Amino acid sequence: MDNRPIGVYDSGFGGLSVWRELYRALPEESLIYLGDGKNCPYGSLSEERIRELAEKAVGELIERGCKMVVVACNTATAAAINHLREKFSFLPIVGLEPAVKPACQLSRSGRVAVLATERSLQSEKLRMAVERYATDVEVIKAVGRGFVEAVEQCEEQSEATEKMVSEVVEPLIEQGADVIVLGCTHYPFLKGVLRRVVGSRDVRIIDSGEAVEKRVESLLDRYSLRADEENEAKYEFLTYADEEYRERLRRKAFDK
Ligand code: DGL
């Protein structure tokens, strides 16, 4: 048994979509969430800069006693996961990848769309996933421009956000995509507007939250890291932004 916390890291609020899955499925596990906030969005930063930021953040979570770290950010995973695993090879580090495999299995039209940041869409990881799983499926890539900012500003439900989401998503549906993969951990917070945009059309929206939670569980078992069933979990929130941001992180985490 190991009651040390699991660290969860993202550029900002997005990783809370993964945090919520862990909170729901693993009530005995303590969690420390680090949402950078100061350098968000990462999507437009250089790979080198993201590696630097990710190293600092993951290093901090480890210093605070984490037994495992989840990089709950597709962009940071794409830019830094190999570097992090080399640097901190003594503990398991879980990364995020777009759910290309289940999307290809679900698609009936033979077209799926991956929505992500520009950096994630250009990544080698995505290229490899497409090559491996999308053998007879066409993958349309689209940048969710402005999506991360809308979530950071807690503008998920506004009319302007719905219009912005519609402008990106409508052409994907018109091209025949019947599965939309949310390849950025901020995007699940836009599921409400996404569903409104899709309306009654037969289009599925999927993300990686549940798959990551399952991966965490399998690693907890593999390395005998599970917390005691009786453990009273603690939840901490950290940021490089200010106290107000930290409080917003906490509130969003427990928001229904
Ligand atoms: N949550 C991050 C991701 O999954 C957002 C990236 C950003 O900060 O631009 O890609």
Is 184 annotated as catalytic?
A: yes
Q: Does residue 41 have a cis peptide bond before it, meaning omega lies within 30 degrees of 0?
A: yes
pLDDT digits (tens, 9 = 90+) for 152-201: 999 999 999 999 999 999 999 999 999 999 999 999 999 999 999 999 99
Q: How far is the CA of 33 from the centre of ligand 1 (A)?
A: 15
Mutate to test the pocket of ligand 1, among 8, 10, 49, 143 (most ligand atoms within 8 A of CB): 10
Closest residue by Cα to residue 7 from 89, 96, 69 = 69
Residues with CB under 6 A from ligand 1: 10-11, 14, 40-43, 73-75, 117, 120, 148, 184-186
Q: How confident is the model at residue 8 (pLDDT cuts 50, 70, 90)?
A: very high
DSSP state of 187: G
Active-site residue, from 40, 66, 104, 184: 184
Q: How far is the CA of 119 from the centre of ligand 1 (A)?
A: 9
Instruction: Evaluate if residue 256 carries a pLDDT over 80.
Output: no
Q: What is the mean pLDDT of residues 44-65?
A: 96
Is 154 annotated as catalytic?
A: no
Report the mean per-residue pLDDT for the chain. 96
| Residue 36 or residue 97, greater confidence | 36
Spatial CB neighbours of 220, under 8 Å, sequence gap ≥ 6: 26, 29, 68, 226
Q: How confident is the model at residue 255 (pLDDT cuts 50, 70, 90)?
A: confident
Active-site residue, from 40, 66, 73, 104: 73
Q: How far is the CA of 185 from the centre of ligand 1 (A)?
A: 6
CA angle at 103 for the pair 97 and 109, rounded to the nearest 5°: 150
